[in-house]
Structure 1
Amino acid sequence: MAERYSSFTPGGTAWFLQRVTAAFLIVVLAFHFFLLHFVNHASEVTLLGTQQRMDHIGYFLTMVLFLVAGAFHGVNGVYNALVNQGLSGTPKKVVLAVLSLAGLALVAQGTYVALVMAEMI
């Protein structure tokens, strides 16, 4: 029988954050779908409505945390999947750097859009 291998150290920080962000994403994604697909139907979602929702600090912070959690969860998951497939050495460092930069760029751009939508800049 094959041994189970995971690049996550059980109980480690990355392992813990992957699970915390997963739980957070499930809850916030459910909220997002409920609000934007059941309370407001897709045809009713407008730029003005988005700006009005982003004016509420609780909604704004939730969406920014949603962005950060999603970016971390995705980047960390892809990186660890590649490590589990045998990525090592210099390619591992390059992939980590590229994924980290891509994640930071995504968070920066998403935060900028959120700030514009909230008319904070």
Structure 2
Amino acid sequence: MAERYSSFSSGSTRWFLQRVTAAFLVVTLAFHFLLLHFFHHAPEITFSGSHARYSVPAYFVTMVLFLAAATFHGTNGIYNALVNQGVTGTPKRVAKWVLVVAGVLVFVQGIRVALALTGGA
């Protein structure tokens, strides 16, 4: 049997956060699909409906946490996939910082959208 290799050190903080964010994403994605695909259908989704949902503090916080978890999970997963493929040295450092900057930009833009949906921006 082939030996398993992972750039994650089992028990490390990034390893732990990858699993915690995965579990959180499963729950919030289920919530998202139930709310926005089963209870409300695509033609019923409007800006005013989104504004009403985002005006509820618990919904707003949940969606911001969803954004943070998805951003971390995605960028951390891409980084580790690159490391698992053998990227080392300068390309590894460049990839890390490109992903950090991309993650921050995605998160900031997501916050801007969330605030716009509350009517706060």
- What per-residue deviation string (whole Å, max 9, x for no partner) do you get for residues 3-43 of structure 1? 21110000000000000000000000000000001111111
Gaps of 5+ in 2: none
Distance in 1 between residues matched to 2:40 and 2:4, nearest whole Å: 45
Alignment pair present for 1:52 and 2:52: yes
Alignment pair present for 1:105 and 2:98: no
Counterpart of 1:11 in structure 2 is 11
Alignment pair present for 1:79 and 2:83: no
Distance in 1 between residues matched to 2:2 and 2:54, nearest whole Å: 50
TM-score, scaled to structure 1: 0.98
Counterpart of 1:90 in structure 2 is 90
Counterpart of 1:61 in structure 2 is 61
Distance in 2 between residues matched to 1:16 and 1:120, nearest whole Å: 34
Distance in 1 between residues matched to 2:120 and 2:20, nearest whole Å: 29
Distance in 1 between residues matched to 2:84 and 2:14, nearest whole Å: 14
Aligned residue pair count? 121
Counterpart of 2:38 in structure 1 is 38
Shift of 1:116: 1.0
Gaps of 5+ in 1: none
Runs of 4+ in structure 1 off by over 2 angstroms are: none
- Kindly, what percent of the aligned residue pairs are identical? 60
Counterpart of 2:26 in structure 1 is 26
RMSD over aligned CA atoms reads 0.7
Shift of 1:120: 2.0
